[in-house]
Amino acid sequence: MFLSRIQLNANLRDTMRALSSPKIIHNTIVTSFLHSLDVDNERILWRVDYLGEKCFLLVLSAQQPDFKHIAERFGYPRNEPQWETKNYDLLLNRINTGQVWRFRLRANPVRSSSKEKDPISGRGKVFAHVTTEQQKQWLLSRAKNCGFLLNENEFDVVYTEWKKFNKGIDRSHEVSLRVSDFEGKLTIADVEIFKKVLLSGLGRAKAYGCGMMTIAGCESVCHE
């Protein structure tokens, strides 16, 4: 697995448009892997991060990407290097039960209602959690089954917003997503389950930049 990062130029008109529509970014990322015959069967996780004044696109993939077209259209084509790619397996191999890591997660916290049915799919309607407390409880309720433990006082929602955009050939279908960024500390409870979450994502809307969790600074053994 590979974790890649490329800086985006948020002042460009094309970049501003892409940042407002996750569908554009998703389609652009997919074209970075067209050399792979298995790309349609692989889960590509991605997330947009802001670090101070800088905007970055993170991508987790089984294949090494070619982001030249992203650098030319949305980034800084004169940067050297234009993007960075690291072997993600090196990080996965360092994970052990009981370790404490800092984490960052962009997710789409929602709940399903069995009483209210979607007229098209017939399944329960999906509603977004909109308050910080609802969003924190959403993550707390999923932590153990995802292989990690959380202390309610050691993580928080640092950012949340609605993403509204159109999709479909005629762009007639409007999508509304509530995205939330979580940051804090977690403790590893089940290594194998936790690794699967890192690789496959947590929650819904993964194609639209949600579900990707990253970890750093293993305090118990690494003291980074």
pLDDT digits (tens, 9 = 90+) for 124-164: 677 888 899 999 999 999 999 999 999 999 999 999 988 88
User: Is there a single domain that holds both residue 62 and residue 159?
Assistant: no
Confidence of residue 32 (pLDDT cuts 50, 70, 90): confident
Contact between 188 and 99 under an 8 Å Cβ cutoff? The reply is yes
CATH of the domain at 144: 3.30.70.1210
CA gap 159, 142 in Å, rounded: 19
Confidence of residue 221 (pLDDT cuts 50, 70, 90): very low
CA gap 214, 186 in Å, rounded: 11
Q: What is the pLDDT of residue 38?
A: 53
Residue 2, classed as helix, strand or coil, is strand
Contact between 173 and 67 under an 8 Å Cβ cutoff? The reply is no
Residue 155, classed as helix, strand or coil, is strand
Q: What is the pLDDT of residue 218?
A: 60
Q: How far is CA 105 from the centre of its chain?
A: 6
User: Is there a single domain that holds both residue 108 and residue 166?
Assistant: yes
CA gap 46, 167 in Å, rounded: 18
Q: What is the pTM of this model?
A: 0.86
User: Is there a single domain that holds both residue 44 and residue 115?
Assistant: no
User: Is there a single domain that holds both residue 104 and residue 207?
Assistant: yes
CA gap 64, 79 in Å, rounded: 19
Q: What is the pLDDT of residue 66?
A: 92
Confidence of residue 173 (pLDDT cuts 50, 70, 90): confident
Query: What is the number of structural domains in the chain?
Result: 2
CA gap 178, 190 in Å, rounded: 29
> Which of 87, 109, 135 lies at the terminal end of a domain, its last residue?
87
Q: What is the pLDDT of residue 129?
A: 85
Q: How far is CA 64 from CA 23, 26, 28, 100, in A?
A: 21, 16, 15, 29
User: Is there a single domain that holds both residue 81 and residue 170?
Assistant: no
Which tokens hold the place of 120? 């098209």
Count Cα atoms within 13 angstroms, Cβ side, for 15.
20
User: Is there a single domain that holds both residue 118 and residue 64?
Assistant: no
* More confident of the two residues 47 and 111: 47
In a domain, 178, yes or no: yes
Which tokens hold the place of 4? 């890649």
CATH of the domain at 13: 3.30.70.1200
* More confident of the two residues 51 and 171: 51
Domain residue limits at 68 = 2-87
Across the range 35-39, mean pLDDT stands at 52
Confidence of residue 34 (pLDDT cuts 50, 70, 90): low
Within the chain, how many helices (H) and strands (E) appear?
6, 11
pLDDT digits (tens, 9 = 90+) for 3-26: 999 999 999 999 999 998 898 999
Confidence of residue 37 (pLDDT cuts 50, 70, 90): very low
Across the range 93-112, mean pLDDT stands at 94
In a domain, 223, yes or no: no
> Which of 59, 87, 115 lies at the terminal end of a domain, its last residue?
87
In a domain, 221, yes or no: no
> In this model, does residue 170 exceed pLDDT 90?
no
User: Is there a single domain that holds both residue 164 and residue 131?
Assistant: yes
User: Is there a single domain that holds both residue 105 and residue 210?
Assistant: yes
